[in-house]
Structure 1
Amino acid sequence: MASTPNTLKIAALQHRFYDNADETFAYIRKEVLRAKQESQVELVALQELHQSAYFCQHENVGLFDLAENFEQEITRFSVLAKEAQVVLVSSLFEKRAKGLYHNTAVVFEKDGSIAGKYRKMHIPDDPSFYEKFYFTPGDLGFSPIDTSVGRLGVLVCWDQWYPEAARIMALKGADILIYPTAIGFTPSDRPDEKSRQLDSWQIIQRSHSVANALPLIAINRVGFEPDSSNVGEGIEFFGHSFVSGAQGEILCKAESNEHTLICEIDLSRTQDVRRIWPFLRDRRIDAYGEILQRYCRESSLLDSSGNPHNSR
């Protein structure tokens, strides 16, 4: 018998960067309040590093100054969460100490208090995405954040490619996975390559829903952002934010334009799906030790009797 529905109405804000943090915040505030008033949402998720342009397209020590506003941003998003009476997932550039910076998701409760933080664990270093220059890997682990709307498994962008992160969040009791993201194409990418990248981005995240029977929110930014160093090509952020259900089904989706995605999620489906697809029950935890190695080389073969013997 199916369990009683436990629905959660959410909003995911997909938008461009509005030239500066104040104008961008004004847009975010307007959309959050509108989503609350018109749709009675309880959870709002924002895209990665929403308070600035995506500054990691090149390496520039002066750009660390963007993190000087971390406490100021904490204050105003706290006020917004309380004003709208929503649980709010933000994504901010954190200055933790002199020379120590993180890409940090901060989750606010409906009363404006901080429910918890997640510091991005997987840090990329690719052309146009030079994040290792700016961000220290997170040290808070993969730990869901308890809120009044459920236990949120918040991860950030590059984390989305790693099934291990989603799995650990699921094993720790996350009710939903949330991925603030900043991903896009460079102008020289061929159309077929753009299509493959977009498909891969959606498939990998929907697979986390399937493997863990969890709903998932992926929020990406939109718009073309030039490389301010005039060295790189710039990035065309492709949007396509979406919400998937406990079997990976698409519940709501956006295209490549600015859009506030409103969606209702039935959290009770996790239990229903796990009863018919008991993936957690059938995990071979006795046989996964090699996952902790960087790379596994075959060290043994079976002899004619089916017993292992050492290979060269």
Structure 2
Amino acid sequence: MDNVTIGLIQARHDVDGGEPVAKHKAAAIDKHLGLVREAAGRGAQIVSLQEIFYGPYFCAEQTPKWYDAAEEVPNGPTTQVFREAAKELGIVIVLPIYEREGIATYYNTAAVIDADGAYLGKYRKHHIPHVQAGSGGCGFWEKYYFKPGNLGYPVFDTAYAKVGVYICYDRHFPEGARMLGLNGAEIVFNPSATVSGTSEYLWKLEQPAHAVANGYYVGAINRVGVEAPWNMGEFYGQSYLVDPRGSFVAIGSRDEDEVVIGTMSKSLIREARESWQFYRDRRPETYGELTRL
């Protein structure tokens, strides 16, 4: 299969952050199941949701309330619901989940579900930000909620393509993006929750550069809207699929719920890698200082 249809789902979260966790999850899961079905109906074969899709970006504050949103992966209820949907629709789903391991160890995770509903594995976000964003004490307070990932940079051999995952803040670090390429990724998904301001100019710069440097497609997903009560800034959407030449295949709006559909070509991946022999010409024996500095 040379051409694979990709669906990227961006959506606003409509429930005020003051509501109970269970209300957030129920509303968001119902909404995203509908969007997943829309994506499948439009021909998508691989679909990715946004970072921590089943609630608000609660890392704007630091409160233990949100620990209740975490689930085991893959044995939690949300993964099971989307495994059933993947099997029914015959699609691959990249499912970002707030993961609990054991009694109280937490990760920012994405499960990868194959087109037959099989759970293939998970990626845990490696790079965890902890910075203020705007006024009022809001921020990306992720170290309060997540441990750094410890499962490396796996690539999942799905029914349609070899899939890697990098989550939000990870995108600022080229080392992991290269590892995903070395591990065989044909497409890397970056589910995100990022607001207008400091990093917006990088949104359409860094990830196309990763795609070119590594000869794969990147699917970048960002939520939309302003979330109460924090109002930390506008999640500016613009989810996109970019090819190994750095060309935008499809791009979403800034402020609308949307299923962004684009097509990836495996022959273009081969053409790009044969034209630019970055993997042949790299010099790993000279890079040792990267891990010592």
TM-score, normalised by the number of residues in structure 2: 0.90
Helix, strand or coil for the counterpart of 1:281? helix
- Following the alignment from structure 1 to structure 2, what is the Cα–Cα distance between the partners of residues 157 and 251? 20
Tell me the secondary structure at the aligned position of residue 112 of structure 2: strand
Percentage of identical aligned residues: 33
Q: How much does 1:69 deviate? A: 7.6
The counterpart of 1:244, out of the listed 236, 242, 245, is 242
Instruction: Please tell me the residue identity of whatever aligns with 1:261.
Output: V
Letter in 1 for 2:50: Q
Corresponding residue to 1:33 among 37, 56, 67: 37
Residue 19 of structure 2 is matched in structure 1 by: none
Do residues 259 (structure 1) and 258 (structure 2) align? yes
TM superposition shift of 1:283: 0.9
Q: CA deviation at 1:23?
A: 2.1
Give the SS at the match of 2:281: coil
CA distance in 2, matches of 1:273, 1:243: 16
Question: Which among 177, 202, 205 is matched to residue 204 of structure 2?
Answer: 202
Equivalent position of 1:131 in the other structure:
142
Aligned partners of 1:145 and 1:154 also within 8 Å: no
Q: Which of 231, 234, 251 does residue 232 from structure 2 map onto?
A: 234
Asked if the contact 1:226–1:235 (Cα under 8 Å) also holds between the matched residues in 2, the reply is no
* Greater Cα radius of gyration, structure 1 or 2: 1
Alpha-carbon distance in structure 2 between the residues aligned to 1:150 and 1:272: 17
Alignment of 1:1-312 (within 5 A): 6-19=2-15, 20-37=24-41, 39-68=42-71, 71-127=76-132, 128-185=139-196, 194=197, 197-228=199-230, 233-256=231-254, 257-294=256-293
- 1:152-195 Cα distance to aligned partner (Å, 9 max, x none): 1111111111110110010111111110111013xxxxxxxx3x
| 1:51, distance to aligned residue in structure 2 (A) | 0.3
Tell me, which stretches of 5 or more residues in structure 2 are unaligned? 16-23, 133-138
CA distance in 1, matches of 2:112, 2:106: 18
- Residue 274 of structure 1: CA displacement? 1.3
- Structure 1 position 63, deviation (Å): 1.6
Measure how far apart 1:68 and its partner are. Answer: 4.6
* Paired amino acid for 1:129: F
- Number of residue pairs matched? 276
User: By how many angstroms is 1:84 displaced?
Assistant: 1.5
User: CA contact under 8 A between 1:181 and 1:219: conserved in structure 2?
Assistant: yes
Residue identity opposite 1:65 in structure 2: D
- Distance in 2 separating the partners of 1:100 and 1:64: 10
**CA positional deviation for 1:199:** 2.1
Deviation at 1:113, TM superposition (A): 1.6
Residue ranges of structure 1 left out of the alignment (5+ in a row): 186-193, 295-312
Alignment deviations for residues 30-84 of structure 1 (CA, whole Å, 9 cap, x no partner): 22222222x2211111000000111101111222111158611111111111122
Distance change in 2, residues 1:88/1:263 (3 Å): same
- The one-letter amino acid of 1:115's match is L
- SS of equivalent to 2:282: coil
- Measure how far apart 1:286 and its partner are: 2.2
Report the secondary structure of 2:54's partner residue.
Answer: coil
Q: Alignment partner of 2:226: what SS?
A: strand
* Residue 69 to residue 293, structure 1, CA distance change in 2 (3 Å): closer
Amino acid at match of 1:125: H
Question: After superposition, what is the alpha-carbon deviation per residue over 1:233-289, rounded to whole angstroms, capped at 9, x for unaligned?
Answer: 523111111110011111110121221101111122111111111111111222111
Contact 1:153 1:178 in 2 (8 A): yes
TM-score normalised by structure 1 residue count: 0.85
Counterpart position of 1:299? none
2-side partners of 1:69 and 1:105: how far apart? 12
Q: Which amino acid aligns with 1:273?
A: A
Conserved? CA contact 2:72–2:101, under 8 Å: no
**Contact 2:50 2:222 survives alignment (8 Å):** yes
Whole-angstrom distance in 1 between the partners of 2:141 and 2:43: 38
Deviation at 1:120, TM superposition (A): 0.7
